[in-house]
Structure 1
Amino acid sequence: MESNEIRISSWNELQEELFSDSWSPHLGRFRSRNAFRGLSDAHYPLLTGLIRLGGNFVDIERHILRNFKKYAHRSVAGGDSVWHWLSMAQHFGLPTRLLDWTYSPFVAMHFATANIEKFDVDGVIWAVNYVQAHQMLPASLRGALEREGANVFTVEMLAESIWSLGDLGNLAMEDFVMFFEPPSMEDRIVNQFAFFSIMSDPHKPVDQWLEDHPAIWRKIIIPAELKWEIRDKLDQGNITERVLFPGLDGLSRWLKRHYSPKG
């Protein structure tokens, strides 16, 4: 919806928009309740890897996940719930019904400006209020959050409430979106301040659901002509691949981008 789109015109204006609703009167602190997702192209929809897979992807999902568990099991430590395995699969690039988000607006800025091959098109940062989204959850899930005094689920909390992905779709007549934190299985998840969303209906993209709930989200457009300034300032602030993807692969990605010629 166009009324939810905000086109910024400067670095300072971007900061104002990203932190505009972060004041919490209840806490007396600046604590944003937004999930952020940065994309290099403002026209990209919020599609999961499973939807992008195409074909009869929902029926294929269980086969993909079953075989992932079969071959990955000896390399994976931790819980054995479907939520643990989904988190692990998403983290390592398997097409799943999860979508990546971050608590950090600066990490979202990084992903909106990391691909220098997309510096000729507008980028975007989505901001979705996960607390308000969770107010529309089925009563059983809202109750689980309230008992924990939490705003976002953990995989352990979900494992106590939902045994299978099939159960998720049977909890309510209306579609809903849910946010949860993965286990801190790698430094990358911790450094990116990452968490996931999941739709009750795996066929439905998150942005389609958001269209019916315009009060809880904003779409902040980053003009192409501002990307180099934002990118350079993020690099100066040490928000880079070297930090967000610890290891030699992240170091190599940072160096390749950092020393690529402008234009």
Structure 2
Amino acid sequence: MTIEKITQDHFDDALRCLQNMSLSKETIVFRGQQDTKWRLHTTWARFKSFEQESRSSDMVGLLDQFKTNLAKLGQMPFEENNHLDWLEYAQHHGVPTPYLDFTYSPYVALFFSFNGLEDIKEAESEEEYVVVYALNINQLAHHWAKASGEFDERVYQSFLSPSTHLFDEGFPGNTLQFIRQPGKSNARMQRQQGAFLYDTLDYHSLGFDDLEEYMDHIQESKPLDYNGTQAPPTLTKVFINKKCIREVFQILELMNITGTMLFLDSSGAAMDVRNTYYYKPKTMMLRGFD
């Protein structure tokens, strides 16, 4: 089955579409991206594609280098040596990792799709859209559980709920793995209702260019309690017209979904200042600052 693509030119329709997927019985996670030409790539995959022969691409080695640099600054965030916590921390500080960020909230995904947009043109065109990815984790897990032939229930459950010791011995290659929740130290992703997809698949050996093409060839299965005529897709791409930007930020502000609250730092506060170019906020000014 091909990836389902939905185009929405009106905010109410886009919001209803995303809410319906979010409230379904399936486990759906979302990812917002501004440029519709961007593909689902981990920073690790991009890093390895430009790797020089003399440079190590070992993830443990990169994390050790990152820790060494932090130690020089006296900024070690953890006492423990938990690989999973370090992977999340390193990713959010720009270290290439095999992680893709997702969120359970379509509203958070909307924020990331529209945050920081510039030069919205008056004339509508094919380029005037952002995209929200909706990934059906149940379908991806079902496919992964059949990778070796017959469906394996243990593999299915392990994909959905991995062991806390998954990365104790390092970072497995040629693997897809859903990480349901961020670590206890990852306040930012907790606030963003985040989840992760760990991806170290060797797409070249599988005959695919990337994760999206891989998903595009998945043969979906109908859930036992599903009443539709066709199985739900593994991946849905919802294209939303950029002209919805004012309505998007007006609604998100009333939900307290802003850069300030999602990032909990000065960079998020600055995002909100830039985004007010497109709408007039109601709640951001405090008494004594107006």
Give the TM-score taking structure 2 as reference length.
Answer: 0.72
State how far apart, in whole Å, the 1-side matches of 2:214 and 2:162 are.
20
Counting only pairs closer than 5 Å after superposition, residues 40-119 of structure 1 correspond to structure 2 as 40-53=34-47, 54-56=49-51, 59-62=56-59, 63-72=61-70, 75-77=76-78, 79-117=80-118, 119=120
Letter in 2 for 1:128: L
Counting only pairs closer than 5 Å after superposition, residues 145-164 of structure 1 correspond to structure 2 as 146=157, 151-153=160-162, 156-159=164-167, 163-164=169-170
Counting only pairs closer than 5 Å after superposition, residues 200-239 of structure 1 correspond to structure 2 as 200-201=200-201, 205-213=210-218, 215-239=233-257
Change over 3 Å in CA distance of 1:32–1:132 after alignment to 2? closer
Q: Once the 2 structures are TM-superposed, how far is the Cα of residue 79 of structure 1 from its aligned partner?
A: 4.4
* 1:178 aligned onto 2:177: yes
The structure in which a higher percent of residues are helix is 1
Structure 1: which 5+ residue stretches go unaligned? Answer: 25-30, 170-175
Match of 1:194 in 2: 194
Q: Deviations over 1:57-111 (max 9, x none)?
A: 7943434222013334661226424323212211222111111111110000000
Letter in 2 for 1:206: L
State how far apart, in whole Å, the 1-side matches of 2:8 and 2:82 are.
42
Match of 1:5 in 2: 5
Q: Once the 2 structures are TM-superposed, how far is the Cα of residue 23 of structure 1 from its aligned partner?
A: 5.0
State how far apart, in whole Å, the 1-side matches of 2:165 and 2:238 are.
32
Q: Once the 2 structures are TM-superposed, how far is the Cα of residue 51 of structure 1 from its aligned partner?
A: 2.7
Q: Once the 2 structures are TM-superposed, how far is the Cα of residue 123 of structure 1 from its aligned partner?
A: 0.2
Whether the 8 Å CA contact 1:103–1:193 is kept in 2: the answer is yes
* Secondary structure at the counterpart of residue 242 of structure 1: helix
Count of residue pairs brought into register by the alignment:
244
Change over 3 Å in CA distance of 1:10–1:113 after alignment to 2? same
State how far apart, in whole Å, the 1-side matches of 2:119 and 2:235 are.
24
Structure 2: which 5+ residue stretches go unaligned? Answer: 122-127, 204-208, 220-232, 281-290
* Secondary structure at the counterpart of residue 43 of structure 1: coil
Change over 3 Å in CA distance of 1:96–1:119 after alignment to 2? farther
Letter in 2 for 1:183: G
Give the TM-score taking structure 1 as reference length.
Answer: 0.78
State how far apart, in whole Å, the 2-side matches of 1:260 and 1:12 are.
18
State how far apart, in whole Å, the 1-side matches of 2:12 and 2:156 are.
35
State how far apart, in whole Å, the 2-side matches of 1:20 and 1:235 are.
21
Change over 3 Å in CA distance of 1:197–1:3 after alignment to 2? closer
Letter in 1 for 2:118: E
State how far apart, in whole Å, the 1-side matches of 2:82 and 2:145 are.
21
State how far apart, in whole Å, the 2-side matches of 1:146 and 1:47 are.
25
Change over 3 Å in CA distance of 1:84–1:145 after alignment to 2? farther
- Higher Rg of the two aligned structures: 2
Q: CA RMSD in A?
A: 3.2
Sequence identity of aligned pairs in percent? 23
State how far apart, in whole Å, the 1-side matches of 2:254 and 2:166 are.
39
Change over 3 Å in CA distance of 1:93–1:210 after alignment to 2? same
Letter in 2 for 1:109: L
State how far apart, in whole Å, the 1-side matches of 2:15 and 2:275 are.
24
Q: Deviations over 1:118-147 (max 9, x none)?
A: 645310000011122122335899627748
Q: Once the 2 structures are TM-superposed, how far is the Cα of residue 112 of structure 1 from its aligned partner?
A: 0.5
